[in-house]
Structure 1
Amino acid sequence: MGKILNFLFCILISNLILSSAQDCSSYSFTNNAIYATCVSLPVQNSHLHWNYRPTNGTVDVAYRHTGVSTSQWVAWALNVDGRGMVGAQALVALPNSNGSVQAYTSSVTGYGTALQQSPLSFDVPAIRAERVNGDVVIYATLVLPSGRTSFNQVWQMGPVSNGAPSAHALGSENRNSVGTVDFVTGLAGDGGGVGGSLLHRRNTHGVLNAVSWGVLMPMGAMVARYLKVFKVAHPAWFYIHVACQATAYGVGVAGWGTGLKLGSDSEGIKYTTHRNIGITLFVLGTLQVFALLLRLKPDHKYRIYWNIYHAGVGYAVISLGITNVFKGLDILDPEKKWKHAYIGVLISLAAIAAILEAFTWFIVFNRKKEEKQQGPAGNGAYASNGYGHGHSQAA
């Protein structure tokens, strides 16, 4: 049985290798052109073929984007002096109403670009495009600037509206369509210093905020609500609660800081709702820190107002935190298992809370019954530790 599985596995690997080769190096162009180097780009079903001529510093490229409809534009670009979209020197393929494809150059100067036709910062002596069986291929000759051979690259696909390119989507594949290419070595990175670090910061931002606002904050509130009903947990529950919420706040501030940095590095890309909720969470979380500093004694006559303030802000932070985690997951668009994992954590916390809530009320009712039987003297002993009327306070 093991030999059969190994045999099938070898067949599968062989098919994958052959499929990859057919997609890239073995692809047959309609003009019978042969390119010495070819790389399959990591996202958006795109491939880059080229011949580099060191004698005159030019490169013949063929950018191939598969599965493109007749109402979509495609583009591939080099960014000579920067990273990402702004500053990209693009080769654009735009479909015409008669089914043909028009090729032209466009220098991208901002995020609001409509890919208008314009010259590039380097010469492009020849450019054309064609559609073949659902693939769009852009052919061009580039005069590489300043004798350089290694560049940042960007590629995209988007819809056409009224005969002109419209803004592309902001899904994970679109955001990750950045990388590097070296026309001499034939190496093409999947992001590295261009998109890789940005993606890493996005993931770091997401993890920090999911752990802080989305997990630790609810856990800290559960500690305050359910542990303090047990006599043996006094005063340990308070210090556990403070430690949990302080950690959550510290990690949350770090996540908030990475979000601000991401926003400044992604000019033109706005997630208004996610950003506004994040700012609100930071403000409310900071108010909770002040709540700890302004905490009144349990027998203070204004303690009831502090309880309302602390509980109201706490529940608001938990609700907004969980909401914003889901907003962030929609933006990052990771594999579904990560969203399912977070949902599983929330369901587990909710189940534990439901069990503890029922058990807590059972203890509270029994304790009140004992207090009635013992009279005023016994009641005072409980009240001093906050078991009775103080139970309803939330963290």
Structure 2
Amino acid sequence: MRDREMKASSSLILVLVSLCGLAASVSSQSSSDSCSSNLNVDGIRFDTTSLTCISAWVSENFILRYKQASANTWSFVLSTPSTDSYVAMGFSKNGLMVGSSAVVGWVSSGSGMMKQYALDGQTPAQVKPDQGSLTLLSNSSMIASQSNRTYMAFQLAVAQPESGLIYSVGPSGFTPVSPGYQLIQHQDMTSTSVNFGSGQTRTQGTPYTRLRKTHGILNMLGWSILMIVGIIVARHCKQYDPMWFYAHTAVQTAAFILGLLGIICGFVLEHKISASNVSTHKSLGIFILVLGCLQVMAILARPGKGSKVREYWNWYHHNVGRILIIFAIANVFYGIHLGEQGQKWNVGYGVIIGLLFVTLIVLEIQKFRK
């Protein structure tokens, strides 16, 4: 009798385990999506048959389905894991966020909202709702949460969409609210390039990375780091006359040449990426170059030590150099911000500049004491 009870109990446990496993399997299948599964979402307002499916963002399990519905109409359905923030899909000419337009959607308290945003800059104020270059067909947009997935569907009136697609997901717990519907910085993002004909997609890095780094490093070395070294040599090494003058001239000449090459790289880069948000950075760079040219001209017109105007020349030469360095440092930090290089570049450059200024201050204190 006891053996029968034990066998019955064992059988019951096995049945329960099997049922739990089946339920978990069903739950897992219902909460996942892949290109091998059928799209069965309520509320999509256009035909979803024969959609091409790609794994848009593997690490975040973003699935994109699309097709050309007519000569000037493209249909898109973006599937993402359910989130308590926004999801976004942007269309970019060069793979960059700035200058592109994005469709952004979120589900909050059971209701969904979709808006187009113009990504004019990196600050929240420059990400503008209800603006952008995309032409969304009226009554085609829909966002819904179903089976632990968020589905964002829309149609574009365009002959050929931009092949640069950008995806992002907002920080947990945040959804835009009226009246401004302002976004805050995304939690994560990726930039991809898609061949809509073949369905091939690849994650792409920032375009012209090497040229960007060359532009930044040359300007860092030229207009700020070496310029400060040249000032230290001129101000605190005069006991080694005339070697201090030759060293100062050599360092500043090298700084000017490197800075000039950096600015040339900047013009080439601007032409290649057709950037629309670098006007301030470019203007500051030209201003710095003009100051550098004035310094070179001043060296060529340097009066002798006994000249009556030597004092005024010294005042001009020293202060133009200081103004140049202040603007150069500010523009380098601004360039790092525009290039979206992150904290590593800011910290690295800041540490170098900080060490140079500490050295200068220590030398100034020693000079004052003497």
TM-score in terms of structure 2 length: 0.63
Instruction: After TM superposition, give the deviation of residue 244 of structure 1 in Å.
Output: 1.5
Aligned partners of 1:172, 1:299: CA distance in 2, in Å?
A: 64
Instruction: After TM superposition, give the deviation of residue 286 of structure 1 in Å.
Output: 1.9
Alignment-derived partner of residue 153 in structure 1: 165
Aligned partners of 2:339, 2:303: CA distance in 1, in Å?
A: 42
SS of 1:39's equivalent?
A: strand
Does residue 349 of structure 2 align to residue 342 of structure 1? yes
Distance change >3 Å, CA 220–CA 260, structure 1 → 2: same
Which of residues 57, 63, 79 is equivalent to 1:40?
57
Aligned partners of 1:117, 1:289: CA distance in 2, in Å?
A: 46
SS of 1:334's equivalent?
A: coil
Which of residues 262, 286, 302 is equivalent to 2:309?
302
Alignment-derived partner of residue 50 in structure 1: 65
Aligned partners of 1:221, 1:356: CA distance in 2, in Å?
A: 12
Instruction: After TM superposition, give the deviation of residue 242 of structure 1 in Å.
Output: 1.6
Instruction: After TM superposition, give the deviation of residue 310 of structure 1 in Å.
Output: 0.7
Check the 8 A contact 1:172/1:334 in 2, yes or no. no
Instruction: After TM superposition, give the deviation of residue 120 of structure 1 in Å.
Output: 4.6
Alignment-derived partner of residue 13 in structure 1: none
Q: Which runs of 5+ in 2 are unaligned?
A: 1-30, 42-47
Distance change >3 Å, CA 27–CA 358, structure 1 → 2: farther
Distance change >3 Å, CA 208–CA 23, structure 1 → 2: farther
- In angstroms, what is the RMSD of aligned CA positions? 5.0
Which of residues 191, 194, 211 is equivalent to 2:204?
191
Instruction: After TM superposition, give the deviation of residue 328 of structure 1 in Å.
Output: 3.2
Check the 8 A contact 2:64/2:79 in 1, yes or no. yes
Instruction: After TM superposition, give the deviation of residue 345 of structure 1 in Å.
Output: 1.6
Check the 8 A contact 1:125/1:142 in 2, yes or no. no
Aligned residues: 319
Aligned partners of 2:74, 2:32: CA distance in 1, in Å?
A: 25
Instruction: After TM superposition, give the deviation of residue 138 of structure 1 in Å.
Output: 1.3
Deviates more, 1:24-33 or 1:178-187: 24-33
Which of residues 123, 128, 136 is equivalent to 2:142?
128
Does residue 225 of structure 2 align to residue 215 of structure 1? yes
Aligned partners of 2:357, 2:343: CA distance in 1, in Å?
A: 21
Task: Please list the CA deviations of residues 283-340 of structure 1 after superposition, one character each: whole Å capped at 9, or x if unmatched.
Answer: 2222111111111112222111111111111122223322333333344443433322
Q: Give me the identity figure in percent.
A: 26
Instruction: After TM superposition, give the deviation of residue 167 of structure 1 in Å.
Output: 7.2
Distance change >3 Å, CA 41–CA 221, structure 1 → 2: farther
Aligned partners of 2:350, 2:155: CA distance in 1, in Å?
A: 51
Check the 8 A contact 1:216/1:248 in 2, yes or no. yes
Aligned partners of 2:339, 2:110: CA distance in 1, in Å?
A: 35
SS of 1:49's equivalent?
A: strand
Q: Which runs of 5+ in 1 are unaligned?
A: 1-21, 366-395
Does residue 80 of structure 2 align to residue 64 of structure 1? yes
Check the 8 A contact 1:85/1:108 in 2, yes or no. no
Alignment-derived partner of residue 101 in structure 1: 112
Which of residues 317, 328, 331 is equivalent to 1:321?
328
Distance change >3 Å, CA 128–CA 41, structure 1 → 2: same
SS of 1:229's equivalent?
A: helix
* Counterpart amino acid of residue 152 in structure 2: I
Check the 8 A contact 1:214/1:321 in 2, yes or no. yes
Distance change >3 Å, CA 133–CA 319, structure 1 → 2: farther
Alignment-derived partner of residue 387 in structure 1: none
